[in-house]
Chain A
């Protein structure tokens, strides 16, 4: 039950885009149409669900202070947490490479439309941010990590799909000043949605 609450909270209250403003680059650049945006959202969700538990295991059994105690009692005061950034990013990068190969093999059209932003998933701050939040908040079990990862991923997916839908409408029906068309108006839209999402901040689930 607690994990379910965490899942819901990660989608709305702790939304990666609108509460933490993480993962903005691909959010802004790949939200031109709903189909591509949805594809990238699914990829990011998948990555978060995979890497968060992996990094949790890494953190729990290797990195955090005293984690190496399963090797023997003399390792009880070894603290490897200064390595966490490099190890987390290595896990994320290798998983991204894997996802890239799978997408290229099975859905070449999605691969072409995502372009440079597929390898950029590796440096999508939302994913490294997720792992760092996991470490910072001291999640208790693998399931907690999975539910938080799924929540953050789905929150990101909802955000990018919503903004892509709004942008499609704006491109068709609205008379935006020429200089703001495209990316400019998207920045302003994101800012307004971010202010709106601040209303979730006080909610405790």
Chain B
């Protein structure tokens, strides 16, 4: 498979045409959980890029030696190890963010993007394309996370990165933050809107 797809496509396809969230439908749980505010969403995106790229490389190196019957366990152990490294690094260099994210970082282990890409790509490809695939899919995931978090924080709390951006005059005129934006169902509706916009431009992705 790797021979007839160029490296460039492997890296850039997941940004939009083959996006892990809106096209492959992987990793929805964390999109709902961490996108109420922009800052944790971006840190989460970066952590997923790192874990996904390196777990793809490691599994790709080991792909010929893993017995098929225990591959899930091997994959999860690799991912869990990397997630613990990321979580320790965050504690050391970005302590405040890691406090906000503590639970969600360990949730990366159960993020379906990781298992999905390991099963679908890393098990059948050489390390370098696997690395590009990991970086590409991680960035595609981070883009969606950032868009959803941007709108939820803007309309739900009137802030961006924790700074107030909706002017006070607007609140005095009777503007109220939309409390529904903070609740998880709204993230689903926002993702649906992203899908709507994207598939209107990209007709080949439409179903039936």
A123 touches B196 (CB 8 A): no
If over half of A's interface residues share one DSSP class (helix, strand or loop), that class is named, otherwise mixed; here it is helix
Closest chain-A Cβ to B156's Cβ sits at a distance in Å of 15
If over half of B's interface residues share one DSSP class (helix, strand or loop), that class is named, otherwise mixed; here it is helix
* A-B CB proximity, top 3 nearest: A182-B207, A179-B199, A187-B192
A188 touches B110 (CB 8 A): no
B68-121 contacts to A, CB under 8 A, are 69-70, 72-73, 76-77, 80, 106-107, 109-112, 114-116, 119-120
Taking the complex as formed, is A181 at the interface, i.e. its CB lies under 8 A from any CB of chain B? Answer: yes
Q: Contacts A120-B116, A124-B110, A125-B110 hold; do A191 and B186 have CB atoms under 8 A apart?
A: yes
Taking the complex as formed, is B62 at the interface, i.e. its CB lies under 8 A from any CB of chain A? Answer: no
B192 touches A25 (CB 8 A): no
Q: Contacts A21-B33, A28-B25, A123-B115 hold; do A180 and B72 have CB atoms under 8 A apart?
A: no
A147-190 contacts to B, CB under 8 A, are 171, 177-185, 187-188, 190
Taking the complex as formed, is A97 at the interface, i.e. its CB lies under 8 A from any CB of chain B? Answer: yes
Please, which residues of chain B bring their CB within 8 A of the CB of A90? 73, 76-77
In chain B, what residue has the closest Cβ to A28? Answer: B25
Taking the complex as formed, is B188 at the interface, i.e. its CB lies under 8 A from any CB of chain A? Answer: yes
A180 touches which one: B69, B110, B120, B192 (CB < 8 A)?
A: B192
Taking the complex as formed, is B53 at the interface, i.e. its CB lies under 8 A from any CB of chain A? Answer: no
Taking the complex as formed, is A94 at the interface, i.e. its CB lies under 8 A from any CB of chain B? Answer: yes
Taking the complex as formed, is B158 at the interface, i.e. its CB lies under 8 A from any CB of chain A? Answer: no
A70-100 contacts to B, CB under 8 A, are 85-86, 89-90, 93-94, 96-97, 100
In chain A, what residue has the closest Cβ to B107? Answer: A125
A120 touches which one: B107, B109, B112, B198 (CB < 8 A)?
A: B112
Interface string of A7-25 (1 = CB under 8 A from B): 0000000000000011111
Please, which residues of chain A bring their CB within 8 A of the CB of B109? 85, 89, 123, 128
Extra contacts besides A123-B112, A125-B29, A184-B199 (6): CB < 8 Å: A21-B32, A116-B119, A123-B76, A179-B195, A191-B186, A191-B189
Please, which residues of chain B bring their CB within 8 A of the CB of A187? 188-189, 191-192, 195
Taking the complex as formed, is B167 at the interface, i.e. its CB lies under 8 A from any CB of chain A? Answer: no
Closest chain-B Cβ to A68's Cβ sits at a distance in Å of 22
Please, which residues of chain B bring their CB within 8 A of the CB of A28? 25, 28
A86 touches B80 (CB 8 A): yes
B111 touches A123 (CB 8 A): yes
